[in-house]
C-alpha cells in the first residue's frame, strides 16, 4: 500500500534501537547506523523531529516493580532519554545534519529547554529537533511524548520505528500465522488492545487526527523508503 507524502514527520525511536546486539546501553555502531538511516530520510526533503525512548538504560515501571518509588524511577527514565538524545545528536552531526536537542527537563549545559516556538523555528530552518526527557512528567511514556510533540509541532504523521514491519494480529515473532494489517483505525487499535503504542498516545493521535505509521526501522534503507511513501508499514488513522 502506498502511503501519502507527509511533509513534517515526528519519528519515535525506542531506546532499544540504540543498543544494537547488546542487552543494555548505547552501542556507538548502532547509533551511527541509525543516524545514517535518518540522514538518508532527511535527504528526501522532509521536516523531521525525533523522540527517543530510554528503555535501553532505564524504565520507570520496571524499576518500580523492584521497589523504586515510581515517580523517582520515571524521572531517572527521562534522564536516560537525554543521554540517548545526545548520543543520537552526536551521530547525526557526524553524518552532516544540523540538529538541536530540546529537553522537557531544563538542562541548560547540554541542551536547550523545550520551548514550542523555538522548536518550530528550528524545524523551519531545516534542523532535526530531538525532543528529550519525554513529556517532563512521570507516569507517562516516550510514546505519549511523541504524540504530544507531534501535535504541538503540527506534524502530518507520527512514524513509529519497531523491529517488525507493522501491526500484526498477534506477535509475529511468536505466532507464525500472524497477519499484518495494511491499515487500521484508532478505535480498532484501542478496542482490540493492539500493542503498538500505549493507549494515551493512540488517543492523543486520534483526537488530533495524526496518522501513526508503524514500520521496521531495523531494515537498512527502510526508513527512507517508508517516509517516501513506499515499503511495508501499517497506517493507523481515523
Binding-site residue positions for UMP: 54, 74, 135-142
Distances (CA, A) of 37 to 31, 88, 92, 128, 220: 10, 12, 10, 13, 7
State yes or no: residue 145 binds ligand UDP (CB under 6 A): yes
Judged by CB under 6 A, the stretch of 23-31, 76-84, 187-195, 212-220 that binds ligand UDP is 76-84
Pick the piece of the chain touching ligand UDP (CB under 6 A) from 21-29, 71-79, 108-116, 163-171: 71-79
Contact partners, residue 141, CB within 8 Å, separation at least 6: 53, 134, 198, 200, 201
Q: Report in angstroms the alpha-carbon separations of 43 from 126, 137, 228.
A: 11, 33, 10
Task: Give the range of 32-40, 49-57, 114-122, 220-228 binding ligand UDP by CB under 6 A.
Answer: 49-57
Binding-site residues sit at 12-15, 54-55, 59, 74, 135-142, 162, 168, 171
Q: Which is nearer to ligand UDP, 134 or 231 (CB)?
A: 134
Residues ≥6 apart with Cβ < 8 Å to 111: 82, 85, 86, 100, 101, 102, 103, 132
Q: Pick from 6, 10, 14, 122: which binds ligand UDP (CB under 6 A)? A: 14
Q: Per CB under 6 A, does 59 bind ligand UDP?
A: yes
Binding site for ligand UDP (CB under 6 A): 14-16, 53-55, 59-61, 73-74, 77-78, 80-81, 134-135, 137-138, 140-143, 145
Amino acid at each position: 500500500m502506498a502511503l501519502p507524502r507527509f511533509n513534517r514527520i515526528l519519528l519515535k525511536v525506542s531506546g532499544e534501537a540504540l543498543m544494537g546486539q547488546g542487552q543494555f546501553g548505547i552501542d556507538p555502531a548502532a547509533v551511527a547506523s541509525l543516524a545514517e538511516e535518518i540522514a538518508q530520510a532527511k535527504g528526501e526533503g522532509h521536516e523531521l523531529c525525533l523522540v527517543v525512548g530510554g528503555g535501553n538504560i532505564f524504565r520507570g515501571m520496571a524499576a518500580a516493580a523492584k521497589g523504586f518509588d515510581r515517580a523517582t524511577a520515571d524521572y531517572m527514565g527521562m534522564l536516560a532519554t537525554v543521554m540517548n538524545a545526545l548520543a543520537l545528536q552526536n551521530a547525526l552531526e557526524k553524518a552532516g545534519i544540523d540538529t538541536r536537542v530540546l529537553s522537557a527537563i531544563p538542562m541548560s549545559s547540554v541542551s536547550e529547554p523545550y520551548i514550542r516556538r523555538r522548536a518550530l523555528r528550528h524545524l523551519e530552518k531545516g534542523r532535526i529537533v530531538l525532543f528529550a526527557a519525554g513529556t517532563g512528567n512521570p507516569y507517562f511514556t516516550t510514546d505519549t511524548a511523541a504524540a504530544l510533540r507531534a501535535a504541538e509541532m503540527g506534524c502530518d504523521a507520527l512514524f513509529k520505528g519497531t523491529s517488525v514491519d507493522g501491526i500484526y494480529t498477534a506477535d509475529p515473532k511468536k505466532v507464525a500465522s500472524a497477519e499484518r494489517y495494511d491499515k487500521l483505525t484508532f478505535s480498532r487499535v484501542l478496542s482490540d488492545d493492539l500493542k503498538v503504542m500505549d493507549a494515551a498516545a493512540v488517543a492523543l493521535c486520534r483526537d488530533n487526527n495524526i496518522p501513526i505509521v508503524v514500520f521496521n526501522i531495523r531494515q537498512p534503507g527502510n526508513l527512507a523508503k517508508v517516509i517516501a511513501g513506499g515499503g511495508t508499514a501499517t497506517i493507523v488513522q481515523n
